[in-house]
A and B are shown apart, each in its own frame.
Chain A
Amino acid sequence: MWDFIVERREALLYNTFQHANLVVQAVLVATVIAVLLAVLITRVPRLEGPANAISAIGLTIPSFALVSLLLTFFSFGSLPAFIAVAFYAVLPVLRNAVVGLQGVDATLLESARGMGMSEVTTLVRVRLPLAWPVILAGVRVSMQMSMGVAAIAAYVGGPGLGTYILKGLTQIGGANAINYALVGTIGVVVVALLADLVLLLVGRATISKGIRV
């Protein structure tokens, strides 16, 4: 096992980076989309029920089904993988962002208005900072989930550690099958733990001092 890792350390590092890269990019894009949608939903409360229903339904769709469905629209490669990961990543963030934005105390919004803040300033200076811890919790869920989706996306040519797992699958019976599958699986767990740690630190750095616990 150790020899296996040492022999392939460069390819291994590259694939680990690719995995993290795919997930981080997709989650970033998803977070922006989700927060924008959440702002829209809090302005038009009637959208909230349908939005929650859609996100619950979306999370029900098996990732293998979505990934392969995307394959029929796009060719093998990173694109269907990216879209699939980003799609699932939007849902938990959206849900938390809606809850977080609605949870902002109405009296605070009123004082912001009273201080002469416009609606946009209120959003940027008051509502988003106050909702941020809840949004970030959603991002952590998204990140963890996306690690697994990205692994499955390797089946349609996505980059990353999933390729090792699939190599292990196709080489079953061969000497290195278990090494490939183990390296891929444990690699994803490690990357997921590291990413979660980074997000915790991001939380430390970005959650407004006034509401830090």
Chain B
Amino acid sequence: MADTRTAARDPHAGIVMEAEPETGAKQGRRIDRETVLMLTVPPALVLIAFAAFVVWRQSAEFNETELRQLAWTEIRSLLWQHVKLTVTSSVLVVLIAVPLGIALTRSGLRKFSPFVVGFANIGQGAPSIGLIVLLAIWLGYGFWTSVLALTLYGLLPVLRNTIVGLDGVDPTLVEAGRGLGMSAGLVLLRVELPLALSVIMAGVRTSLVLVVGTATLATFINGGGLGAIIQTGISLFLPKLIVAGALLVALLALFVEWLGRVLEFLARPKGV
């Protein structure tokens, strides 16, 4: 299952990468060192960079527009909008993709799963900005249109990993569960989902990163978020605003990625 997890780690991946030939022992060591690095470096980086931003924000000279856009209350409200967009969309993604993935691995619906995943793969090829603009034309500007676009965009990684994770569960374990007298639902809940959880969580993290990054574009359709700072910076050509906006967005994305990693780490079942 290592290869699927590596594929899922790539946040923009639209295609499942092919199996990676590597011996098990080596793979384990590599991921461990990387896990440690990825759990410690990004939060430190975020803290240091944010501290640098605060110092720069307090000491550099700004013109009136820049001051208005970079007022702490304004930054806080944009950040809050960005977080709201990300959290709402991600919750919707999980609520839709996980049950759908479960349904597509049950015997009755399994035959549809290649089609659904194939369709989702092609859909993922559509540029996020195009999806956002099209939905805005269809449904109008605003927060909920942005949420819909972000949700659609974030579905695939979770859906794919749910299917891959559940398919990867050893069938003999499912059999054993049934042999113990568990119902199919109970086996799903007690055996299959716990074993697939880490793969599913890898998908959730991928999707979180996609969503938090794409939420930057929500400002184009009045959906709010930190992208507004960048957009103002570009349209009035104020480099300080562009740098500040890009930095804040990148820091938020890094922080969210780190949160996803922590969640993924915690979700690892103890027995595996």
Count A-side interface residues using an 8 Å CB cutoff: 60
Nearest-neighbour CB distance to chain B for A71, whole angstroms, equals 6
Beta-carbon contact of B41 and A189 below 8 Å: no
- Given A68-B242, A178-B137, A192-B125 in contact, is the A141-B250 Cβ separation under 8 Å? no
Beta-carbon contact of A65 and B130 below 8 Å: no
Q: Which residues of B contact A52 (CB under 8 A)?
A: 30, 34, 37
Beta-carbon contact of A59 and B134 below 8 Å: no
* Complex alpha-carbon distance, A166 and B220, angstroms: 10
User: Which of B11-19, B162-170, B183-191, B196-204 lies at the interface?
Assistant: B11-19
Q: Is A147 an interface residue (CB 8 A)?
A: yes
* Complex alpha-carbon distance, A66 and B227, angstroms: 12
- Given A48-B30, A68-B242 in contact, is the A60-B234 Cβ separation under 8 Å? no
Partner of B134, one of A68, A137, A145, A182: A182
Of residues A48, A66, A102, A133, which shows the largest number of chain B Cβ atoms within 10 Å of its Cβ?
Answer: A102
Q: Is A140 an interface residue (CB 8 A)?
A: yes
Contact sample, A vs B, 26 pairs, CB 8 Å cutoff = A52-B37, A53-B37, A53-B41, A56-B34, A61-B250, A65-B230, A71-B234, A92-B10, A92-B17, A95-B10, A100-B21, A102-B26, A137-B18, A141-B12, A144-B15, A145-B13, A148-B12, A148-B129, A155-B234, A165-B127, A177-B137, A181-B134, A184-B130, A185-B127, A186-B126, A188-B130
- The chain B residues found within 8 Å of chain A, CB to CB, are 6, 9-15, 17-18, 20-22, 26, 30, 33-34, 37-38, 41-42, 45, 122, 124-131, 133-134, 136-137, 209, 212-214, 216-217, 220-221, 227, 230, 233-234, 239, 242-243, 245-247, 249-250, 253-254, 257
* A59-B12, A92-B12, A185-B134 given; 13 more Cβ-contact pairs under 8 Å: A50-B37, A53-B41, A60-B213, A62-B213, A65-B247, A65-B253, A68-B246, A148-B126, A162-B129, A172-B137, A181-B133, A188-B125, A189-B126
